[in-house]
Amino acid sequence: MREEHVVNWDFDVSVIGGGPVGLALATELTARGHTVCVIEQNDRVGVQPRAKTTNVRTMTHMRRWGLAPEMRRRSPLAPEFPRRVRFATGLFGHDIFSFENAFCAAPVRDERFPEHAEFIPQYVVEGILLDHVKAHPRATVRFNTRLEELEQMSGGGVAATVRDLKTRKVERVTARFLVGADGARSSVRKLLGIQMQGLHSLMSFVTLILRVPGLNADPELEPALFHWLVSPEAPCVMGPMDKQDVWFWGMPQRPGREMTDEELLGFVRKAMRKDCEMEILARDPWTVHKLLADRYRDGDVFLAGDACHLHSPFGGHGMNLGIADAVDLGWKLSAALEGWAGADLLDSYETERKPAHRLVIETSTENVAALSDKFLAPGLDDDTAEGADARAVAAKAVEEAKAPEFRSLGVVLGYRYASPQIVTDDEGAPPEFSVTRYTPTAFPGSLAPHAWPDDGSSLYDHFGTGFTLLRLGQAEEAAESELTKAAAALKLPLKLFALRDEAVRELYGADYALVRPDQHVAWRGDRLTAPAALLDRIRGKPVAVETQRAAATT
Ligand SMILES: Cc1cc2nc3c(=O)[nH]c(=O)nc-3n(C[C@H](O)[C@H](O)[C@H](O)COP(=O)(O)OP(=O)(O)OC[C@H]3O[C@@H](n4cnc5c(N)ncnc54)[C@H](O)[C@@H]3O)c2cc1C
């Protein structure tokens, strides 16, 4: 039976799934003042030891949430540990090529972003987010609880039927919105009848989590984040995962027969070239897909993270991409809950995020096409001049094929949103996109270019929780008061920040930039001529084309 006009929801938002994406969404929403219930079927977070790369974009969100210091503190790697990806003929074999400062993870200051990437196990990231969410008075986290049914209520809002897996008791949890952040096998997606489109089961892999006592301290070990082992007997990838000599090791699974633990350990030893004592802590089989949900929204229900996009993990994007979904959806749901969202704003979630998902799906599928065995060559491991020549040839091939995987700052920071809420009417052609190169630009839709003002803070630290109007040139303050008044009338949060710095003005290419809550540029220009129309446009109010043009006048 459908319930009529429920107005007293238990929560503003129900989040199904306490993985990194659900917890990031709960973090974003509670920070914006909303009540959230996270429903997780497992009895704890961090069940699967998967991601290791938390990229610079996620780390920037962690900074915004006040969690970057904790991420750094919990990193298993010492600051001086080289953030390199090493290709070699064996763990204790000949070096072929190394990508230094892979994923921009070296702990050095960079003009382009405020936080370097961290190499930290996903279970630690989830633990940090969980501790933060649990401590928040507006958050409720329910473990051992599974979503079974959902119902969109006629008065707006969603009722979730959830089962306590310990007591078997069934309960209804109501919320204004519900988000399925429930991973690859998303129940929310299935209950809504949303299909995944694309290619299923491209390749199968197995990851082992191992304890190899004394390995980190072995004086013959070349330290690296990842060791790609170009070994004819056991082409694979391995690397340090956590403190206390915990390592990961992964290799494609040959179709047909599942290998025993002993067989897999045999491959590990061959790839290492040293007979070390080791113990398997976990075994994690996984499959590469290339899939996107055919829609991300049904009424008041949304999908985020692996629930709506699945791709190869080569390149370290999946969790990071899902956390960016949580940020985009988080501020838009918040705008709807606070009453200043236009009718089209929530639909812009899919319009904006889907192209970013497609980009990652394409590049990460290309990454999986070049595994270690691609670089095998006769004599590669020989201690001879011919062997050295073979390694030099392989090094060139590795750098060419794998740069998009380990130097992918273009993918991480350079994607640009294009939606009716982004004002580009008077802009020329957008700057060219490159997977490996990120060129900061304030072309609307892009991530606001980063800068370090003279006081040592990050420019991003000065952005408000809502929109931020940056005044960068010599523009008159009077024009801004009209925008401030229009924002106040709408109850749209807006902060003004003035920075008289010619270099930053040049970087932004305009006297003003209007930056969204997710740090993307919504509009830039030298004059604020139609503030009310501009705000209507960027908050997703359906507006006529002529009005849109007026709003964009510079
Ligand atoms: C080998 C490997 C390495 C990877 N490395 C990286 C990397 O370096 N960087 C990176 O960014 N990404 C990486 N990824 C991808 C990353 O692990 C995923 O993208 C990420 O876990 C997705 O997060 P999520 O929160 O969307 O889904 P999940 O992590 O799958 O979380 C979903 C949660 O929902 C819960 N759930 C499901 N159904 C229900 C229900 N009905 N009721 C209640 N709860 C439910 C599940 O128990 C689960 O806890 C890697 C993946 C693999 C396989």
Ligand 1: residues whose CB is within 6 Å? 16-22, 39-42, 50-53, 122, 146-147, 181-184, 187, 207, 286, 305-307, 313, 316-320, 322
Residues 20 and 153 in one domain: yes
Evaluate whether residue 433 is within a structural domain: yes
Q: Are 82 and 221 in contact (CB under 8 A)?
A: no
Rounded to 10 deg, the angle between the 348-368 and 318-338 helix axes is 180
For residue range 321-351, list pLDDT tens digits in order.
Answer: 999 999 999 999 999 999 999 999 999 999 9
Q: Same domain for 340 and 421? A: no
Q: Which amino acid is at 191?
A: L
Report the mean per-residue pLDDT for the chain. 94
Question: Among all chains, which residue has been given the structure tokens 């930056």?
Answer: 515
Which helix (H) or strand (E) segment holds residue 173: the answer is strand 170-180
Q: How far is the CA of 358 from the centre of ligand 1 (A)?
A: 18
- Which residue has its alpha carbon closest to ligand 1 atom 20? 319
Helix (H) or strand (E) holding 12: strand 11-16
pLDDT exceeds cutoff 90 at 182: yes
332 shares its domain with 191: yes
* Residue 351: CB atoms within 10 Å: 16
Distance between terminal CA atoms of the chain?
54
436 and 324, same domain (yes or no): no
Q: Closest Cα to residue 325, out of 541, 181, 129?
A: 181
Residue 135 has pLDDT above 80, yes or no: yes
Tens-place pLDDT, residues 370-389: 999 999 999 999 999 999 99
Q: Tell which one of 124, 206, 225, 319 to mutate to probe ligand 1, the residue whose CB is within 8 A of the most ligand atoms.
A: 319
Whether the Cβ atoms of residue 95 and residue 380 lie closer than 8 Å to each other: no
**According to the model, what pLDDT value does residue 474 have?**
81
- The answer to whether 44 and 143 have CB atoms below 8 angstroms apart is yes
Residue nearest to atom 2 of ligand 1 (CA): 50
Gap from CA of 343 to ligand 1 centroid (Å): 31
Q: In terms of Cα–Cα distance, which of 515, 528, 392 is closest to 465? A: 515
Handedness of CA 294, 296, 297, 303 (dihedral sign): positive
In a domain, 521, yes or no: yes
Residue 146 alpha carbon, nearest atom of ligand 1: 42
* Cα–Cα dist 178/157, whole Å: 8
Pocket test for ligand 1, best of 41, 201, 288, 353 (most atoms within 8 A of CB): 41
Indicate whether 352 belongs to any domain.
yes
Question: Token digits for 51?
Answer: 């991601």
Please spell the DSSP secondary structure of 423-475, one letter per residue.
Answer: --TT--SPPPP-SS------STTSBPPP---TTS--GGGGS-SSEEEEE-SS-
pLDDT tens per residue across span 497-518: 999 899 999 999 999 999 999 9
- The Cα-based distances of 502 to 116, 303, 434 in angstroms read 26, 42, 27
Mark whether 154 and 17 lie in a shared domain: yes
Q: Is 528 exposed, middle or buried (0-12, 13-18, 19+ CB in 10 A)?
A: buried
Q: If you write DSSP's letter for every residue of 282-306 in order, what string do you get?
A: EEEEEEEEEEEES-SEETTEEE-GG
- Whose Cα sits closest to atom 30 in ligand 1? 183
Nearest Cα residue to atom 31 of ligand 1:
19
Q: Which domain holds residue 461?
A: 414-551
529 domain residue, yes or no: yes
- Does 332 fall in a domain? yes
3-state DSSP call for residue 39? Answer: strand
Residue 249's pLDDT is 97
Residue nearest to atom 5 of ligand 1 (CA): 51
Q: How far is the CA of 322 from the centre of ligand 1 (A)?
A: 9
41 CA distance to ligand 1 centroid (A)?
13
Please tell me the distance between residue 467's alpha carbon and the centre of ligand 1 in angstroms. 30
Cβ atoms within 10 A of the Cβ of 30, count? 22
Residue 313 lies in a domain: yes
Q: Ligand 1 centroid vs 36 CA: distance in angstroms?
A: 20
Considering its fold, how many domains does the chain have in total? 2
- The closest-lying atom of ligand 1 relative to the alpha carbon of residue 207 is 1
In this structure, what token pair is assigned to residue 391? 């390694």
Looking at the structure, do residues 350 and 440 belong to the same domain, yes or no?
A: no
Question: How does residue 117 score in pLDDT terms, banded at 50, 70 and 90?
Answer: very high
Residue 325 Cα, ligand 1 centroid: separation in angstroms?
A: 13
Residue 343 and residue 429 in one domain = no
Give the number of residues written for the chain.
Answer: 554
Looking at 335, 360, 385, the residue that finishes a domain is: 360
Ligand 1 atom nearest to 317, measured from its CA: 11
In testing the pocket of ligand 1, which one of 50, 191, 283 has its CB within 8 Å of the most ligand atoms? 50
> Of 554, 547, 552, 502, whose CA–CA distance to 526 is shortest?
554
Provide, rounded to the nearest whole percent, the portion of the chain with pLDDT above 90.
90
Whether residue 547 has pLDDT greater than 50? no
Query: Per-residue confidence at 417, pLDDT binned at 50, 70, 90?
Result: very high
Please, are residues 480 and 528 in contact by the beta-carbon 8 Å criterion?
Answer: yes
**Given strand 512-515, what is the order of strands in its sheet?**
494-498, 467-471, 512-515, 521-525
Is residue 99 within 8 A of residue 403, CB to CB? The reply is yes
Among protein residues, the one whose CA lies closest to atom 29 of ligand 1: 19
**In testing the pocket of ligand 1, which one of 43, 182, 192 has its CB within 8 Å of the most ligand atoms?**
182
Lowest-pLDDT range of 20-24, 146-150, 241-245, 519-523 = 241-245
ipTM for this model: 0.99
| Residue 23, domain CATH | 3.50.50.60
Of ligand 1's listed atoms, the one at least distance from the Cα of 186 is 38
SS (H, E, C) 205-259: EEEEEEECCCCCCCCCCCCCCEEEECCCCCCEEEEEEECCCEEEEEEECCCCCCC
Give the Å distance between the CA of 122 and the centre of ligand 1.
9
What is the number of the ligand 1 atom nearest to the C-alpha of 320? Answer: 11
CB-based contact 119:53 (threshold 8 Å): yes
On whether both 349 and 423 belong to a single domain, the answer is no
Asked if 54 and 356 count as a contact pair (C-beta separation under 8 A), the reply is no
Which of 329, 344, 360 is the last residue in one of the domains? 360
- Among 48, 122, 412, name the best residue to mutate to test ligand 1's pocket (greatest count of ligand atoms within 8 A of Cβ): 122
Residue 554 pLDDT exceeds 50: no
Q: Are residues 152 and 34 in the same domain?
A: yes
Q: Decide if 543 is inside a domain.
A: yes
Q: Are residues 356 and 461 in the same domain?
A: no
List pLDDT tens digits, range 213-262. 999 999 999 999 999 999 999 999 999 999 889 999 999 997 778 899 99
Residue 551 has pLDDT above 60, yes or no: no
- Residues 14 and 175: their CA atoms lie apart, in Å, by 6
List the CATH number of the domain containing 491: 3.40.30.120
Å from CA of 354 to ligand 1 middle: 18
| Residue 232 forms part of a structural domain | no
Q: Is the dihedral of CA 503, 508, 512, 518 positive or negative?
A: negative
Helix (H) or strand (E) run with residue 21 in it: helix 20-31
Q: 108-129 burial string, b = 16+ CB within 10 Å, else e? A: eeeeebbbbbbbbbbbbbbbbb
Helix, strand, or coil (residue 106):
coil
Q: Residue 20 is which amino acid? A: P
For ligand 1, the distance from its centroid to the CA atom of residue 107, given in whole angstroms, is: 27
Could you give the C-alpha distances from 280 to 160, 209, 268, in angstroms and in order? 39, 6, 11
Do 475 and 329 sit in the same domain of this protein?
Answer: no
Same domain, 169 and 27: yes
- Closest protein CA for atom 6 of ligand 1: 51
- ∠148-152-154 over CA atoms, to 5°? 150
Q: What is the C-alpha separation between 25 and 22, in angstroms, rounded?
A: 5
Nearest CA to ligand 1 atom 1: 50
* pLDDT average, residue stretch 131-139: 97
